[in-house]
Structure 1
Amino acid sequence: MALYIRDDTVDDLASELQKLSKAPNKTEAVRRALQHELERLREEVPLRERVAKIQARFRARMGSNKRNFDMKRFTDEMWEL
C-alpha cells in the first residue's frame, strides 16, 4: 500500500527526514520515524513513577526522619563557638 501525503508541510518534513536519514524513499523514512516514536512512547516512564524513584533515592540517602528536631536549638548551636 502506498503512502499518500496531501499536506505540503508534512511532505516537506518527510523529504527532509528521508535526506537526513538516508532512507531509500519517503515511505521508509516515515515508517522508521513512526517505529522510533512508538518505541519511545512504549518505553516512556510516567512522571509519577520517575518522581517516586527519585524520592526513594533521597529517602535512602537521608536516613530516618527525626521527629524531635528542635529548630531553635539547632540555630542557637550554629552561633556557638
Structure 2
Amino acid sequence: MAFSIKDKATDEAVRRLARLKNTSLTEAIREAVVHEYDRISDKTPLLDKLAEISARYRSYPKTGLEADKAFFDELSGDE
C-alpha cells in the first residue's frame, strides 16, 4: 500500500518529524496518525480530567511547612 503526498508542506513536515525522531517516513506518519486519532477519540470531558488531577493533588499529605516567599521572590528576580 502506498500513499502519495503531493503537498510540499506536508512532505517537508513528515521529513522533519522523521529526522527529529530518527525514524522512517512510514513510522513517523504512523505514529503521528495514531497519536492524533487517540487525542481526538479520547471522549473524557475536560472537567473530568481536571477533577482527576485535582483529586490526585488533594491526596498528597499536608506537610505543615510554609512556602519561603523570599526564596521564590529571589528566583523570579522580585527581590
Q: Which has the higher contact order (CA 8 A, sep 6+)?
A: 1
- Structure 2 gaps of 5+ residues are 56-79
Using the TM superposition, give the Cα deviation of residue 50 of structure 1 relative to its aligned residue in structure 2, in angstroms. 5.2
> What is the 5 A alignment of 1:36-51?
36-47=35-46, 49=48
For the residues of structure 1 that align with 2:19 and 2:43, how far apart are their CA atoms? 28
Determine the structure 2 residue equivalent to 1:5.
Answer: 5
Higher helix content, 1 or 2: 1
For the residues of structure 1 that align with 2:43 and 2:19, how far apart are their CA atoms? 28
User: Are 1:34 and 2:48 matched, yes or no?
Assistant: no
Higher CA-based Rg:
1
- Structure 1 gaps of 5+ residues are 58-81
Q: Judge conservation of contact 1:17–1:29 (CA < 8 Å) in 2.
A: yes
Q: CA RMSD in A?
A: 2.5
Using the TM superposition, give the Cα deviation of residue 48 of structure 1 relative to its aligned residue in structure 2, in angstroms. 5.8
> Normalization by structure 2: what TM-score?
0.52
Aligned residues between the structures: 54
For the residues of structure 1 that align with 2:34 and 2:14, how far apart are their CA atoms? 14
